[in-house]
Amino acid sequence: MKPIRKLAFVINEDKDGALALGRELIAIARRCGIRLKHTTRFPLPKGWLRGWDACCVIGGDGTLLGVARESAREQVPIIGVNRGSLGFLTTFSADEARLQFADLLGGAFMVTHRAMLACSTGPGAHDLALNDVLIKDAVNSRLVRLEVVADDELVTDYTCDGLIFSTPTGSTAYNLSAGGPIIHPAAGVIAMTPICPHTLSNRSIIFRENVCLRVYNRSPGARLLVAMDGQRNLKVGAQSPVEISIANLRLPLAQRSDYSHFSVVRAKLKWSGGFVEKR
C-alpha cells in the first residue's frame, strides 16, 4: 500500500491503557513526519475523515463501529488497535502496534473491504451497519410477530424476541451468540437469525448478497426498535416495513499482510481441539 502521510487517531479514553498507547503511537508517527489529528469522541461527525489517508482506532470493536460509517463514506482505511476484550475488528494488539507501527505508516499493510448493511425504516430514516441490524419490540422483551419478505417473496413469519440481520463481519458478534453461523468475511451473503423463536425449530437463513429484505410488524399495538450495530436506533412508523440490503459502500479495513481470519477466530473464541491418539 501507499505510505501514510496524514493519519487521524480515535482513542477510547475509557479503555484501560488506550490513552498511554495513543501517546506512544502518536510519538512514533511524529518521528516519521506524519501529519496528525486526534479525538476521543465517537461516533465521528460527517466529514471528519475527509482527505485523510488512514484512521488509527485505539479501543475495542465498539469503538471501531463508531468510526465505521465515516470511514466507509470517505473510504479512509481503519487501523484497529485492540484495548478491549475480544477484538475481532481491532486485530492489532498493543505490542504488535508498537513494534509494527513505523512499518504500517510506510505502507506495510493490506486493505480488505468489508460489506455493510443499508437499512431504511421510512422516508429520511436510513443508516449503515457494519455488524448487524437488530429488530425487536421497542418497549420490552415481549414476543413480536415479524413477517419477512425477500425480493417480494414471502419467506416466513416469526413469533420471537427479535431478528438479527448480520453481515459476514458481524457473524461473530450478536449473531453468533444467538446461535447463528460463522461466515467468512469475503462471503457475499446476509444472515438472518431469530432470537428465541416460539418454535421447536430455530435455524438461521442465509440470503444472497443482492437480496432486498423487508420486515413487517404483524403484532397489533407493538412498536419496533431497529438498532444499528447496537449503537444507533432508527424510528419505525406503525405501517412502515424495515428494508435491509447490502450497502453500496464498503468499509476499508487495514490488516497485516499475513492476516488470517480463521487464525483470529481460533484465538478469540479459544477453539481447541484436535484429538491426539495416545500411544
Catalytic residues: 61
CA pair distance 204, 156, nearest whole angstrom: 12
User: Please, which residues bridge with residue 38 across strands?
Assistant: 9
H helical segments located in 40-191: 61-74, 94-105, 174-177
C-alpha 136/C-alpha 218 separation (Å) is: 12
- In single-letter form, the type of residue at position 82 comes to N
Distances (CA, A) of 13 to 39, 68, 228: 10, 18, 23
Cell numbers describing residue 267: 484465538
Cis check: omega of the bond before 197, within 30 degrees of 0: no
Query: What amino acid is encoded at 89 in this protein?
Result: L
Radius of gyration in angstroms for the set of CA atoms belonging to the chain, rounded to a whole number: 20
3-class SS shares of the chain: helix, strand, coil, % to 5: 20, 40, 40
Residue 160 · residue 98 · CB < 8 Å: no
In the chain the first and final C-alpha atoms are separated, in Å, by 50
Residues 90 and 18: their CA atoms lie apart, in Å, by 13
